[in-house]
Structure 1
Amino acid sequence: MHTDLVAALDIGGTKIAGALVDGAGSLLVRAQRPTPAREGAEAVMGAVDEVLGALTASPLWDGVGRVGIGSAGPVDAAAGTVSPVNVPGWRGFPLVERVRKTTGGLPVALVGDGVAMTAAEHWLGAARGYDNALCLVVSTGVGGGLVIGGALRPGPSGNAGHIGHISVDLDGGPCPCGSRGCVEGLASGPNIARRALRAGWRPGPDGDTTAAAVAAAARAGDPVAAAAYERAAQALAAGIAATATLVDLDIAVIGGGVAGAGDVLLAPLRRHVRDYATLSYLRRLTVEPAVMGADAGLVGAAAAAIALR
């Protein structure tokens, strides 16, 4: 009988995933439901309860001692609430209290999804063995998390490391967050595609205008598509270098859908990081792709629950 299991939840705008995770990071039981993101708060909570119901029905449930949640943000770990940008029905929603009730009073740890990905990469992935790491999720938005001194540092709200909203262009365009020239406004997938289209890139016969299509064009030698990734890489590098300068990092790990561009993003990113991170104590800083893939959210939620005892 497992006695060290964690129930993990990964909550996003399209799906709510759950798993029972053991002390080695293996996912033993899985459950998933679509997120009814356009419906009200209780409909979304109903989907969470269905996922938890599938987990509690497992004979392994008796070995579960705690619950970890990684959620699209912003989250407020101190208050136990979530307000995901892509789930309009949840604003200040008391998710921790509701999950605690559904699971019979188990302790619940809540972190943002970027922090969860960081916890996973540090536990079992590309940041394993590094005591000081920044991990980034570059996707529809740009999130992240920090490991400092060998420990996950989610901060009091559970959002520390949210690199997407560091300003890297003082005269840049307004960001929906209220600031200006944020990393996310230059480096997220939709913004890479927008920049390429504005500069004259045109999709192929399939009409695909995603960042992945821009990456394919860049790989095939399209200079406008390559320039859009170059600019995204520069923004990411400026944010990474600023963070490394502040907290003294060993490694930056890049995950999320946009990181699927591979060297189209990583080659200019490494070059720009070398340009920006020039102080002597930053020269050891390396940039590596994430390796945990789609399970990072669940593994990381479990890791966060273990770490935040």
Structure 2
Amino acid sequence: MHTEFTDLVAALDIGGTKIAGALVDDTGRIHLRTQRPTPAQEDGESVMAAVDAVLAELTASPLWTAVSAVGIGSAGPVDAAAGTVSPVNVPGWRGFPLVARVRTTVGELPVRLVGDGVAMTAAEHWKGAAQGHDNALCLVVSTGVGGGLILNGRPHPGPTGNAGHIGHISVDLEGDPCPCGSRGCVERIASGPNIARRAADQGWRPGPDGDASAAAVAAAARAGDPVALASFARAAQALAAGIAATATLVEVDIAVIGGGVAGAGDVLFEPLRAALAQYAALSFVRGLKAVPARMGTDAGLVGAAAAALLDGSARSGGGGPR
């Protein structure tokens, strides 16, 4: 019976590929989930219509009466203070008033917006690989490179919800221009498309299936292809430099790495750990560990729920996730 739930939250995970929604309890268990494809290349109202369809399915559930707050994790940049989102891969949304639009459906319920990197970080700290660590950096290495921070035992989203966005730390002063306006950013070297681009530029060619993705480069690296191995080594070096810089600044003791590129496994983690040993050499960061994320595709939903619960505005007053 749904009446047993006193602290359900609705969670939205908004990305360039899909818009997912769920009802999540204060132990992190998902009780209902739904999703729609993101019409990323259409106008802003078409994207919002997909969000509305997900919300409609959630609000139609008898469990909705137990929902006390709404958490949203969105591709960014986001502006949590203004309630707006401008996902790089959803051009129809620029300064889009997502929180206000969601409130037209959910009424008086509090709505909490964070970036997708912050959501993933909250999930990994609550239920995943960063559990038990008071100071952690979590990264999503995929089409882009995002991230978030746990400081003093709590997610640290920053004033706008973008703190920990490690992808746009510059690690190569003479590096390629990045779309953000800087040069040699971690994302420009270590994201999946840029791993594949570098491999292709150095002469790697896909197999008969024509797959030129980072996953195909990873498979070639596992088979010993030197160009594929070098592309992953370069990505690992960039990640290590960004992770070590972050650790030196705020003294995190673990870096949790998720996203599609992390699925390369040892092809990424072996050179990453070797490079990290070089970059994180000061005494207070020497014990820094790099580990794979554990929450998988649920990280965005569980993390959005955690953000809403930790916000302290859920009507149950339960004090956040358990």
TM interval, shorter chain, is: over 0.9
- Of 92, 117, 120 in structure 2, the residue corresponding to residue 117 of structure 1 is 120
The equivalences for 1:1-309 within 5 A come to: 1=3, 2-309=5-312
Unpaired runs of 5+ in structure 2? 313-322
Instruction: Give 1:15 deviation, angstroms.
Output: 0.8
Residue 37 of structure 1: CA displacement?
1.3
| Deviation larger for 38-47 or 225-234 | 38-47
Deviation at 1:283, TM superposition (A): 1.5
1:53-84 Cα distance to aligned partner (Å, 9 max, x none): 10011111000000000000000001000001
What RMSD in Å do the two structures reach over aligned CA positions? 0.6
Q: Offset of 1:203 from its aligned partner? A: 1.0
Sequence identity percentage: 77
Deviations 1:12-50 (A, max 9, x none): 111100000001101101111111112211111111111
Q: Tell me, what secondary structure is at the counterpart of 2:249?
A: helix
Aligned amino acid, residue 258 of structure 2: G
Shift of 1:101: 1.6
State the secondary structure of the residue aligned to 2:227: helix
Separation in structure 2 between the aligned mates of residue 288 and residue 43 of structure 1, nearest angstrom: 38
Moved over 6 A (4+): none
For the residues of structure 2 that align with 1:39 and 1:200, how far apart are their CA atoms? 35
Within 2, Cα distance between the matches of 1:231 and 1:16?
A: 32
Query: Matched residues in 1 for 2:90 and 2:205: separation?
Result: 31
Look up the SS of the partner of 2:294 in the other structure: coil
1:282 Cα offset (Å): 0.6
What letter corresponds to residue 85 of structure 1 in structure 2? V
Question: With structure 2 as the length reference, what TM-score do the two structures score?
Answer: 0.95
Helix, strand or coil: the match of 2:161? Answer: coil
Where 1:110 maps in the other structure, the secondary structure is strand
Could you tell me how far apart the structure 1 residues matched to 2:111 and 2:76 are?
17
Shift of 1:250: 1.1
Shift of residue 228 of structure 1? 0.2
Aligned mates of 1:220, 1:47 — CA distance in 2: 41
Shift of 1:185: 0.4
Unaligned runs of 5+ in 1: none
Q: Shift of residue 95 of structure 1?
A: 0.5
